[in-house]
Structure 1
Amino acid sequence: MEFVPILDLPAARQAQVRHLRNQPEVRRFMYTSHEISEPEHARWLDQLKSNPRQSVFVVVSEDHLIGVVSLSEINAAHRTADWAFYLDASVQGKGIGSQIEFWLLDYAFGPARLDKLNCEVLEVNSAVIKMHQRFGFVIEGVRRQNAIHEGKRVDVVLLGITQEEWRQQRPNLVPVIQRLAGKGNQ
């Protein structure tokens, strides 16, 4: 598995990200669940070029785009950021999300030089909340009825992890990630 900055990809590959993001299985857990148009996608890519507070990586496996992972709201002064990811529907539930989370945590607390990482998850996405907790994220709060999901107001769960917490949790996860990578999910 490779993690390639989206802006380093040719335009045709950047366009494929929109198709990945527009899959119904992906959109259903996003804040903005509408289908992303070509002009909207182009505007997003354009704003990434001048936004030092956001880094977006495309996950590539065997020359296929299988996911997107991003750091946003990067605050250099406080050494914090938010993160999010999504996966192609065909690879969901196969351990790829765990491999991506492991990579992202190493990246955030390594090359990105962060001290704290945050994320938000719709309460209806309990599998991802549990996955984050396995990686050492702690629930820090809940924004009650903060988003509309399938026509209903739902809570948004706020999670966070510090660099020290990741350092403590990482050794426990290395064998799990090695096992997942050994199953061909690289």
Structure 2
Amino acid sequence: MTSIWVGDRVRLRGGEPEEWQLAMEFDQDATVMRNADRLHPPRSKAGYRKWAEANAGTPDDDTFGVGIESLAEGRLVGGLSTNGVDKNAGVFSYGITIGADFQRRGYASEAIILLLRYMFGERRFQKCDVDIYAYNTASLKLHEKLGFIEEGRRRRSQFFAGGYHDVVLMGMTVEEYAHAHSLGSVESC
């Protein structure tokens, strides 16, 4: 049996409420937090538990968050969630976070490929847009390697760490994805 949610390195799966400590652990690294979104005020253990319980519910088919589990280590190493879903235009976006101790092992690239295969091949989306902070060169290189095209830049559009930062806009169409990766196939039983 094969699963669309399992690759060679990672499995995408729902988060469990008892995994709140992993989110708290990831939030201890300011760089990880900024690259994913922005710095948030400290949260209590009860706050992390409440957040984990609220996010462990049943997702809909297009807007959802999943945990990224390392197959080798059998533990959560990050998270991935869709956002900016526009069903009329067939466009979506996503955000991804990999814990600092698990970066540069291929987890992010494989998780993104699995997500795109689902959104393009199963949900009929025709384009994926991502926003990446210009200073995050590792993420820019990763997305370029996966086949995303730089489409523009929003100059000085975010403020943190005492300064203004540009956001690079990148996108990939379903045709570009299919050319670089597989949309999958239907296996006979």
- Distance of 1:158 and 1:48 partners within structure 2: 30
Instruction: State the one-letter code of the partner of 1:58.
Output: G
Structure 2 residue 170 is matched with structure 1 residue 155: no
Structure 1 residues 51 and 152, CA, compared in 2 at 3 Å: closer, same or farther?
farther
Q: Deviations over 1:61-92 (max 9, x none)?
A: 24311010111121222221111101011111
- Give 2:67's aligned residue: 58
Deviation of 1:45 after TM superposition, in Å, equals: 5.9
Deviates more, 1:134-143 or 1:98-107: 98-107
Structure 2 residue 125 is matched with structure 1 residue 114: yes
Structure 2 residue 26 is matched with structure 1 residue 12: no
Match of 1:80 among 91, 94, 102: 91
Within 5 A, what are the aligned runs for 1:129-148?
129-148=140-159
Tell whether the 8 Å contact from 2:26 to 2:100 is kept in structure 1 after alignment. Answer: no
Deviation of 1:49 after TM superposition, in Å, equals: 5.2
Structure 1 residues 41 and 125, CA, compared in 2 at 3 Å: closer, same or farther?
farther
- Distance of 2:77 and 2:55 partners within structure 1: 23
Q: TM-score, normalised by structure 2?
A: 0.77
Tell whether the 8 Å contact from 2:24 to 2:48 is kept in structure 1 after alignment. Answer: no
Gapped runs of 5+ residues in structure 1? 172-186
Deviation of 1:48 after TM superposition, in Å, equals: 8.2
Q: TM-score, normalised by structure 1?
A: 0.78
RMSD of aligned C-alpha atoms? 2.4
The SS at the match of 1:86 is strand
- Give 1:3's aligned residue: 12
Tell whether the 8 Å contact from 1:18 to 1:36 is kept in structure 2 after alignment. Answer: no
Give the structure with the higher percent helix. 1
Gapped runs of 5+ residues in structure 2? 1-9, 183-189
Deviation of 1:30 after TM superposition, in Å, equals: 3.3
- Distance of 2:81 and 2:174 partners within structure 1: 18
Deviation of 1:101 after TM superposition, in Å, equals: 2.0
Instruction: State the one-letter code of the partner of 1:18.
Output: A
Instruction: State the one-letter code of the partner of 2:64.
Output: S
- Give 1:22's aligned residue: 27
